[in-house]
Amino acid sequence: MTDPTTLHAVTVLGHDRPGIIADTTARLADLGLNLEDSTMTLLRGQFAMMLLCAGGDATLTQGEIEAALAPLTVDGTLDVTVREVRSPGPGAGAGSPWLLTVHGGDRPGIVSSLVSRIAEVGGNITDLTTRLAGGLYLLIAEIDLPAQADADALVAVVGETAASLDVTATLRPTDPDEL
């Protein structure tokens, strides 16, 4: 049974083809589910989509959603999962928005080294995109930085970490409307 504060997290992963989004969202709409938040991307030709859905009949179960989406997986090229998650409480994401951009030569450890610095001060990464083009690596992260974080010290630490990786990094505050 669905609690009104419950969201259904749906992930769809696999080989890209036309119609995946249309098929998935039509099946969810047929159940009376509304898409509240979603993201989709192609990762080296692989389709990756995450959806947060709400609504539907109060008796709608996770199993019924899984059954409705099961035909998407019949040919073996897609994996679909459904999981119930609680709606975030008030105050979630109450910090200030920052943007981290990193670019330079590709090597292991760029993401982990830089985002660990953000985590050390309680920063929460709310969106992360990376791309590799030839030997050039690009990272863009939207960050929610708590009010008590020392932003100037963090900017300095991120710069030092980037230099040790031989990449260029910029961490700057943003206007929420800019993101």
Q: Which residues contact 76 (CB under 8 A, 6 or more apart)?
A: none
For residue 115, CA distances in Å to 56, 112, 158, 162 come to 37, 5, 9, 11
pLDDT tens digits along 68-104: 999 999 999 999 999 999 877 655 557 899 999 999 9
Q: Please give the helix or strand (H or E) that residue 40 lies within, else none.
A: strand 33-43
* Mean pLDDT across the chain: 92
Given a cut of 70, whether residue 164 has pLDDT beyond it is yes
Per the CB < 8 A criterion, the answer to whether 84 and 6 are in contact is yes
pLDDT value of position 98: 97
Q: Rounded distance, CA 155 to CA 146, Å?
A: 14
Domains within the chain, CATH numbers bracketed: 6-86 (3.30.70.260), 96-173 (3.30.70.260)
Given a cut of 60, whether residue 4 has pLDDT beyond it is no
Given a cut of 70, whether residue 60 has pLDDT beyond it is yes
Given a cut of 60, whether residue 137 has pLDDT beyond it is yes
pLDDT value of position 171: 97
pLDDT value of position 1: 46
pLDDT value of position 120: 96
